[in-house]
């Protein structure tokens, strides 16, 4: 078989299929082979924040550009007035930090190969050798940037949303789109790719212009909004720069579940267990997910793990998100107050404009950020909260937890607020209603479990946050009275 990016995908290939593999150069075509692969799809549900959008949303696999209408979405008497979407960037490269760890692991395997070079004929068939030979194609410059698959994630999301809300994404509204993004390359590029998807929607078949030349202009960068966590002093000192804040993550890394995997992997790879640690194991697992998400290939790194290992490694990933972005500390979610307020200010303004029969100034607001942008906001709003905290010691009890980042914030995940204007047939009363969608599925409201809420009821439910959550105050460090000690 030709040694190309597809050649290591394990398929029960007929000669014709093998020829086809050799012929297609497009990487996206390669991924057509992937669903046949049992191991990859068995591990895919456990990739946490490195999960592909289509794995969290399998309905998309047959046709990712077809509109996907949740049956709970409102229609008939209600017209959508405004859409506020928070969108995580699409599929990305590993960060430089992850690439360096991977290189370290690769080095370990190659050193091993050199040592038993004399008996290498016997070792040829083993997984360690296959991994030592597997090309390490990640380079430092890639550092977390958006990949082509990530652009495709965004274009396809744009096409689906535009078909789902044709009145909001009308050609006429295009010039009024409001785009805000985090300053990170992967987010700016995601915004641009989303715009290109919209262009494709309006002008099928025509190549999109450069984003800078588009009517609505390039996305506006606003890190205070989209990377609020970098700007919140209390979060930085209590969590981000606090060596003990992620205690449970560190404890789980050295706990019995991880130790079992370490021993098993050391045995499979035939390297001393002392040379491995939880971080290296985690990066090996991520590499399986990166090779799949970025290239659509199954890397031999996937063969190192079984489903039980994957569940443990998923928990390790979720533990970190829980303590750093979720319910672990109050400040994690409170740091997102500005974003929460911003969303409701947009909705308030649209309600006022509609009530005064004015045109809606911003019918579509698109905000591009990170998993770290979405998780705190969802926590602030009370979603995916388990009765017990996730700790280093309750892995088994948390097997059926709600807080599973792979389901909540895969690549290209999106949280969308849709404001509707409704006319009630029986009474002449006009009403405003809101629905929330997470990853294009209606998210029942945290307070009622209903799929739709009167806007007033929603605001009433969140009135404490709306009234008292001000990032300026929330993020202020407690005043230390140093004179006490004197
Ligand atoms: C760091 O985290 C620990 C554990 O939550 C906490 O007790 C401590 O007060 C934090 N330190 C700072 C400076 O906030
Ligand atoms: C700081 O502590 C001193 C001594 O206990 C007290 O007199 C002073 O009022 C305190 N200052 C503030 C700002 O709380």
Q: Which ligand is nearest to the CA of 248?
A: 1
Which of these, 336, 369, 368, 365, lies nearest to 350 by C-alpha position? 365
Identify the active-site residue in 89, 248, 346, 370.
Answer: 89
| pLDDT value at residue 206 | 85
Going by pLDDT thresholds of 50, 70 and 90, the confidence category of residue 27 is very low
| pLDDT value at residue 114 | 58
| pLDDT value at residue 482 | 66
Kindly give the number of the ligand 1 atom that is closest to the alpha carbon of 247. Answer: 4
| pLDDT value at residue 3 | 38
Q: Which of 243, 244, 329 to mutate to test the pocket of ligand 1 (most atoms within 8 A of CB)?
A: 244
| pLDDT value at residue 18 | 36
For residue 466, is pLDDT > 70?
Answer: yes
For residue 6, is pLDDT > 50?
Answer: no
Instruction: Mention every residue, 6+ apart, whose C-beta is less than 8 A from residue 148.
Output: 27
- Take atom 1 of ligand 2 and give the residue whose Cα is closest: 481
Q: Which ligand is nearest to the CA of 236?
A: 1
Give the distance (Å) from ligand 2 centre to CA of residue 245: 29
**Higher-pLDDT residue of 470, 235:** 235
89 is catalytic: yes
| pLDDT value at residue 125 | 52
Give the distance (Å) from ligand 1 centre to CA of residue 243: 8
Joined tokens for residue 101: 């760890």
- Take atom 3 of ligand 1 and give the residue whose Cα is closest: 245
Instruction: Render pLDDT for 121-174 as a digit per residue (tens, 0 to 9).
Output: 344 457 888 888 888 889 999 999 999 999 999 999 999 999 999 999 999 898
Q: Which of 172-176, 235-239, 478-482 has the lowest mean pLDDT?
A: 478-482
- Take atom 10 of ligand 1 and give the residue whose Cα is closest: 238
Give the pairing type, strands 178-181 and 78-88: unpaired
Q: What is the dihedral of CA 307, 311, 314, 316, to 10 degrees?
A: -130
Tokens 């939880």 belong to residue: 278
Percent of the chain with pLDDT over 70: 86
Which of these, 472, 361, 444, 420, lies nearest to 80 by C-alpha position? 420
Give the distance (Å) from ligand 1 centre to CA of residue 330: 12
Q: Which ligand is nearest to the CA of 331?
A: 1
274-294: average pLDDT? 93
Kindly give the number of the ligand 1 atom that is closest to the alpha carbon of 238. Answer: 14
The Cα-based distances of 442 to 14, 156, 450 in angstroms read 42, 19, 10
Q: Which ligand is nearest to the CA of 235?
A: 1
Identify whether the C-beta of residue 42 lies closer than 8 Å to the C-beta of residue 307. yes
Kindly give the number of the ligand 2 atom that is closest to the alpha carbon of 481. Answer: 1
φ, ψ for residue 201 (rounded to 5)? -65, -40
Instruction: Render pLDDT for 34-90 as a digit per residue (tens, 0 to 9).
Output: 444 555 679 999 999 999 999 998 888 888 888 888 888 887 789 999 999 999 999
Kindly give the number of the ligand 1 atom that is closest to the alpha carbon of 243. Answer: 1
Kindly give the number of the ligand 2 atom that is closest to the alpha carbon of 479. Answer: 13
For residue 277, is pLDDT > 80?
Answer: yes
- Take atom 2 of ligand 1 and give the residue whose Cα is closest: 245
Q: Is 485 in the pocket of ligand 2 (CB under 6 A)?
A: no
194-218: average pLDDT? 82
Give the distance (Å) from ligand 1 centre to CA of residue 247: 10
| pLDDT value at residue 116 | 53
Give the distance (Å) from ligand 1 centre to CA of residue 91: 34
Q: pLDDT averaged over the chain?
A: 87
- Take atom 9 of ligand 1 and give the residue whose Cα is closest: 238
User: What would the DSSP string read from start to end of 21-67?
Assistant: HHH---HHHHGGGGGG-HHHHHHGGG-GGG--HHHH-GGGSS-TTS-
**Length of the chain in terms of residues written:** 486
Q: Is 481 in the pocket of ligand 2 (CB under 6 A)?
A: yes
Identify whether the C-beta of residue 474 lies closer than 8 Å to the C-beta of residue 232. yes
| pLDDT value at residue 120 | 44
440-449: average pLDDT? 92
Give the distance (Å) from ligand 1 centre to CA of residue 485: 20
Going by pLDDT thresholds of 50, 70 and 90, the confidence category of residue 218 is confident
Instruction: Render pLDDT for 312-355 as a digit per residue (tens, 0 to 9).
Output: 999 999 999 999 999 999 999 999 999 999 999 999 999 999 99
pTM: 0.87
- Take atom 14 of ligand 2 and give the residue whose Cα is closest: 481
Q: Is 484 in the pocket of ligand 2 (CB under 6 A)?
A: yes
Q: Which of 10-24, 142-156, 367-381, 446-460 has the lowest mean pLDDT?
A: 10-24
Pocket of ligand 1 (CB under 6 A): 237-238, 242, 244-245
Backbone CA torsion sign across 31, 36, 38, 41:
positive
Identify whether the C-beta of residue 156 lies closer than 8 Å to the C-beta of residue 64. yes
Which of these, 180, 169, 177, lies nearest to 342 by C-alpha position? 180
Instruction: Mention every residue, 6+ apart, whose C-beta is less than 8 A from residue 204.
Output: none
Give the distance (Å) from ligand 1 centre to CA of residue 250: 15
Give the distance (Å) from ligand 2 centre to CA of residue 238: 24
| pLDDT value at residue 89 | 98
Q: Which of 236, 237, 238 to mutate to test the pocket of ligand 1 (most atoms within 8 A of CB)?
A: 238
């Amino acid at each position: 078989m030709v040694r190309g990016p597809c050649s290591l995908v394990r398929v029960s290939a007929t000669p014709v299929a093998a020829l086809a593999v050799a012929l297609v150069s497009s990487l996206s075509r390669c991924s057509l082979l992937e669903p046949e692969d049992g191991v990859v799809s068995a591990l895919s549900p456990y990739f946490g924040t490195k999960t592909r959008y289509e794995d969290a949303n399998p309905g998309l696999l047959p046709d990712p550009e077809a509109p996907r209408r949740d049956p709970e979405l409102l229609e008939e008497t209600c017209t959508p007035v405004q859409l506020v979407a928070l969108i995580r960037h699409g599929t990305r490269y590993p960060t430089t930090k992850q690439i360096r760890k991977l290189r370290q692991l690769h080095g370990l395997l190659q050193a091993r190969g050199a040592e038993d070079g004399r008996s290498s004929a016997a070792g040829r068939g083993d997984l360690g050798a296959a991994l030592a030979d597997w090309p390490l194609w990640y380079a430092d410059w890639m550092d977390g940037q958006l990949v082509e698959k990530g652009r495709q994630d965004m274009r396809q999301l744009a096409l689906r949303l535009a078909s789902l809300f044709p009145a909001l994404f009308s050609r006429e509204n295009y010039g009024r789109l409001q785009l805000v993004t985090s300053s990170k390359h992967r987010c700016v590029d995601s915004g641009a790719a989303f715009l290109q998807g919209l262009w494709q929607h309006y002008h099928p078949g025509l190549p999109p212009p450069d984003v800078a030349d588009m009517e609505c202009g390039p996305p506006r960068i606003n890190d205070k909004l989209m990377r609020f966590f970098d700007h919140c002093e209390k979060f930085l000192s209590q969590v981000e720069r606090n060596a003990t804040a992620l205690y449970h993550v560190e404890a789980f890394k050295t706990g019995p579940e991880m130790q079992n995997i370490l021993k098993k992997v050391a045995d499979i790879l035939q390297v001393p267990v002392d040379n491995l640690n939880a971080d290296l194991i985690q990066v090996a697992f991520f590499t399986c997910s990166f090779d799949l998400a970025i290239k659509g290939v199954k890397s031999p790194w996937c063969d190192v793990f079984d489903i039980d290992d994957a569940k443990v490694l998923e928990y390790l990933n979720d533990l970190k998100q829980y303590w750093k972005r979720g319910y672990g500390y109050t400040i994690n979610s409170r740091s997102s107050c500005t974003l929460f307020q911003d969303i409701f200010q947009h909705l308030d303004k649209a309600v006022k404009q509609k009530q005064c029969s004015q045109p809606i100034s911003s019918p579509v607001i698109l905000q591009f950020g990170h998993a770290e942008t979405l998780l705190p906001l969802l926590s602030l709003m009370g979603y995916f909260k388990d009765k017990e905290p996730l700790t280093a010691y309750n892995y088994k009890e948390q097997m059926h937890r709600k807080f599973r980042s792979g389901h909540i914030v895969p690549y290209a995940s999106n949280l969308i607020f849709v404001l509707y204007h409704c006319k009630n047939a029986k009474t002449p009363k006009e009403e405003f209603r809101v629905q929330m969608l997470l990853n294009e599925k209606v998210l029942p409201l945290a307070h009622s479990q209903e799929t739709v809420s009167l806007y007033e009821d929603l605001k009433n439910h969140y009135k404490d946050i709306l009234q008292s959550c001000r990032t300026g105050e929330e993020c202020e460090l407690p005043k230390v009275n140093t004179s006490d000690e004197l």
